[in-house]
Amino acid sequence: MSVINDLSTDQRVHKHCLLLQSKGYDVTLIGRVTSVSRPLDDRSYATVRMRLPFERGPLFYASYNIGLFFQLLFRKADLLFSNDLDTLLPNYLISRVKRMPLIYDSHEYFTEVPELVSRPKVQRVWQRLENWLLPKLKNTVTVNRSIAELYRQRFGIEMVVLRNIPELRSIQKSSTKAELGLPTAGKLVILQGSGINMHRGAEEAVQAMQYVNGVTLLILGSGDVVATLKKMVGELGLSDKVLFKDRMPYAEMMAHTRLADLGLTLDRDTNINYRYSLPNKLFDYIHAGIPVVASDLVEVNRIVNQHDIGDSIKDLTPESLAMKITEMLHSERYAQWKANCAKATAELNWETEAQQLSEMIDRINV
């Protein structure tokens, strides 16, 4: 199993590993370690975190792919599992050399992420790689119906849809706000995740706090705009209304999330990848039992409307967002939204969702 991140917070890949273990595979998960990586929690499978000479830029991707190629070349394996386009080339080459099956999981519409759209020359390199490799693949997975349809139109391939939904977990011992260092007075609104990046509504969420009373915004996680957000909080004098916490293990993150009153998922329709996104945080909020304020996106709306677990907002300005937060916190429907989250959890869980991937693995084993 290959992924380019540092393994510590990737729940999707972790669940894949556990599923393969349950089918009798001896799993090794290969990623990388960085200067700011957290220690890994105990895993029931083997892990390899490559230490590379570069941590960003073209040389990082080159060094990772070379390192991954040799990791795969000298390991005995019956199945390769590649996560996202930045791990696919060495996996594909080794699968051909060793004549072994390969599963490819695209966690997003990779070549349309903002980081590539803003750098067209780099984007074209990844597009050429994708154009070469994807039509050759037999076992492919992605995160929602919209992205699967984009890949079908472009490459003529039928990808299995596997949404990134949490496992059903018995409720762990509840923490209190005081125990977790959260404000005990007023309401708590959370924006969490490992991708607090550009165009994902974090800036508007901070600015909205100027117009909301009796509410604290908790921004929990990491991303490329967190430093900007902290500066914005200082400039706007919102240090008593906005709280930051760095990314943390999933169980700790969910302990914080369960104490919130609303969850925010505010990706903006600024590119194809965000337009059809289905953020992990949406399902985390549902499993935590908190209603959702969501931007008006196709896949997100499908979940919010089908299960009636919150409301969407079309005009993502700070003023409009502040009004929506206030309205929902005091809505007569609030209790029903919470109850509907519990009902949705019984349907939207990994144990149900993973059946298609399980069947794919069984077909490979035949």
* Interval 164-223: pLDDT, tens: 999 987 556 578 999 999 999 999 999 998 789 888 999 999 999 999 999 999 999 988
Please check whether residues 297 and 196 belong to one and the same domain. yes
Q: Does residue 272 or residue 304 have the better pLDDT?
A: 304
Looking at the fold, whether 217 and 358 belong to one and the same domain comes out as: no
CB-count exposure of residue 201 (10 Å: 0-12, 13-18, 19+): buried
Helix (H, G, I), strand (E, B) or coil at 83: strand
Say if CB 309 and CB 341 are below 8 A apart: yes
Q: Counting every residue, how long is the chain?
A: 366
Do 83 and 67 reside in the same domain of the chain? yes
Task: Could you list the beta-strand ranges (E) of the chain.
Answer: 28-33, 46-51, 80-83, 102-106, 139-142, 160-161, 187-193, 215-221, 242-245, 262-265, 292-295, 310-313
Q: Decide if 174 is inside a domain.
A: no
> Which residue type, as a one-letter code, is found at position 228?
T
In this structure, the answer to whether residues 302 and 355 fall within a common structural domain is no
Q: How many CA atoms lie within 13 A of 264 on its CB side?
A: 29
- CB of 249 closer than 8 Å to CB of 282: no
Clarify whether residues 360 and 310 are in a common domain: no
Residue 229 located in a structural domain: yes
DSSP state of 313: E
* Domain limits for position 232: 187-347
The mean pLDDT of 121-126, rounded to a whole number, is: 94
pLDDT digits (tens, 9 = 90+) for 243-301: 999 988 888 999 999 999 999 999 999 888 889 999 999 999 999 999 999 999 999 99
- Considering the domain boundaries, does residue 178 fall inside one? no
Position 81 in a domain: yes
Residues 151 and 201 in one domain: no
Q: What is residue 193's predicted lDDT score, i.e. its pLDDT?
A: 84
129 & 272 share domain: no
**Is residue 232 domain-shared with residue 357, that is, in the same domain?**
no
The C-alpha angle with vertex 231 and arms to 37 and 205, in degrees rounded to 5, equals 90
Task: Give the range with max mean pLDDT: 40-44, 167-171, 238-242.
Answer: 238-242
Residues 154 and 242 in one domain: no
Whether residues 260 and 356 fall in one domain: no
Pairing of strands 292-295, 262-265: parallel
CATH number at residue 309: 3.40.50.2000
Does 4 reside within a domain? no
Q: What is the pTM of this model?
A: 0.88
293 inside domain:
yes
**Angstrom distance (rounded) from CA 157 to CA 120:** 25
Three-state secondary structure call for residue 312? strand
Instruction: Examine residue 95 and state whether it is found in any structural domain, yes or no.
Output: yes
Task: Say how many domains are in the chain.
Answer: 2
pLDDT above 60: residue 88? yes
269 and 146 inside one domain? no
Residue 177 lies in a domain: no
Q: What is the mean pLDDT of residues 14-41?
A: 94
Residue with tokens 């074209």: 124
Give the three-state DSSP class for 231: helix
Say if residue 307 is in the same domain as residue 229. yes
**Is 114's pLDDT higher than 80?**
no
